[in-house]
């Protein structure tokens, strides 16, 4: 018998046999028992770590050389105050850098046959081969050539080529912004609508954006 989340759930529901109950309680108190690690895959865990570090690194200036400070015991009170200050500074810096990101941006992948991934504060964009995008989050203008995927981190309303009406792009959804049709109308398809396209086109888009 081994500890897993099912057994712990069972424990909470009071459905454990006395032996199982004992095992859970022992596991909790005893630090020497062998048990399986949490069922999160190594790759997932590593990815999570790298993501967190990548996000942090973008806001932290690396110091030239590490300064070694001799270990010294501080009281919890001072550690608490110091942590709060660091936290506030980080939040402040993050907010500042967020506001500082320009509303108008140009992304160019015209010379590349591969994908280009761009991570902005308020959206992610994946440019397809030879694609280019001009995005202004203030005016809501979104000009493109080629195909791209757009992943909003907040709700947007953009105006695209061929129509005066603004198109809402919602946080939580992924959009394919495709080449304008012969009539000049830009095609914007959400990932959940992909299933309604002809299978041949679905497959082509999945291959092109590497999402099979």
Partner 1 sequence: MLSNRFTLFLSLLLLHLVISCRTEDGGRNIDGKYSLYTMNKDLGNTIITSNTVDSGNLTISKNGIDIPTQQFDRSIIVKDKHFYFLRAGKFKKYTLESNGLKEIAQVAMQDQHIENINWLDRDTLLLFTSDNKTNRRLWIYKITVNDFKINQQQEVKLPSASADFKILSVGFGTIHQQRLLIGYTFNKVINETDFTTIDTMYIATLDKTTLQLENIQKDTRSSYPGGVNTVQSYSFHDENGNFYFMSCPGIALGNSPSKPTAIFRIDSNSTHINPTYFLNLTAETHNHAYGMWYLGNNQAIVRSERRDRYTDFSDHHSTYQFEYYVVDLISQTTTKLNLPFDKGTRKESVLVENGKAYITIDDAKDQHQVWIYNIKSKNIQVGLTLDQATDFIVRIDRLHQISN
Contact footprint for partner 1 (CB under 8 A) = 5, 8-9, 12, 27-29, 31, 38, 128, 147, 170, 172-173, 178-179, 181, 183, 185, 187-193, 195-201, 203-208, 212
CA distance 109 to 126: 10
Separation CA 120–CA 137 (nearest Å): 11
* Minimum distance from residue 143 beta carbon to partner 1 (Å): 18
- Output the smallest distance, CB 62 to partner 1, in A: 30
Q: How far apart are CA 212 and CA 208, in angstroms?
A: 9
Output 126 or 188, the one with its CB closest to partner 1.
Answer: 188
State which residue, 95 or 190, has the beta carbon closest to partner 1: 190
Contact 159, 141 (CB under 8 A): yes
Beta bridge partners of 136: 104, 141
Alpha-carbon gap, residue 209 to 72, rounded angstroms? 52
Provide, rounded to whole angstroms, the least separation between the CB of residue 105 and partner 1. Answer: 23
Helices of type H across the chain: 5-13, 18-29, 42-57, 76-100, 199-208
Please report how close the Cβ of residue 144 comes to partner 1 at its closest, in angstroms.
Answer: 13
Q: Which is nearer to partner 1, 42 or 100 (CB)?
A: 42
Of residues 20 and 59, the one with the C-beta less far from partner 1: 20
């Amino acid at each position: 018998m081994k500890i897993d989340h099912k057994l712990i759930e069972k424990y909470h529901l009071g459905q454990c046999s006395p032996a199982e109950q004992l095992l859970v309680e022992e596991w909790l108190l005893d630090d020497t028992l062998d048990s399986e690690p949490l069922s999160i895959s190594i790759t997932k865990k590593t990815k999570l770590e790298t993501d967190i570090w990548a996000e942090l690194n973008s806001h932290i200036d690396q110091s030239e050389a590490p300064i070694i400070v001799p270990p010294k015991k501080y009281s919890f009170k001072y550690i608490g105050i110091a942590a709060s200050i660091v936290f506030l500074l980080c939040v402040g810096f993050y907010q500042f850098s967020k506001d500082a990101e320009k509303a108008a941006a140009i992304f160019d992948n015209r010379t590349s046959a591969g994908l280009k991934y761009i991570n902005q504060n308020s959206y992610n964009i994946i440019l397809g081969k030879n694609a280019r995008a001009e995005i202004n989050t203030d005016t809501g203008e979104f000009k493109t050539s080629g195909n791209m995927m757009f992943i909003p981190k907040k709700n947007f309303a953009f105006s695209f080529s061929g129509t005066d009406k603004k198109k809402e792009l919602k946080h939580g959804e992924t959009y394919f912004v495709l080449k304008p049709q012969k009539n000049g109308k830009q095609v914007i398809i959400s990932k959940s609508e992909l299933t309604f396209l002809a299978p041949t086109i679905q497959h082509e888009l999945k291959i092109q954006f590497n999402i099979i």
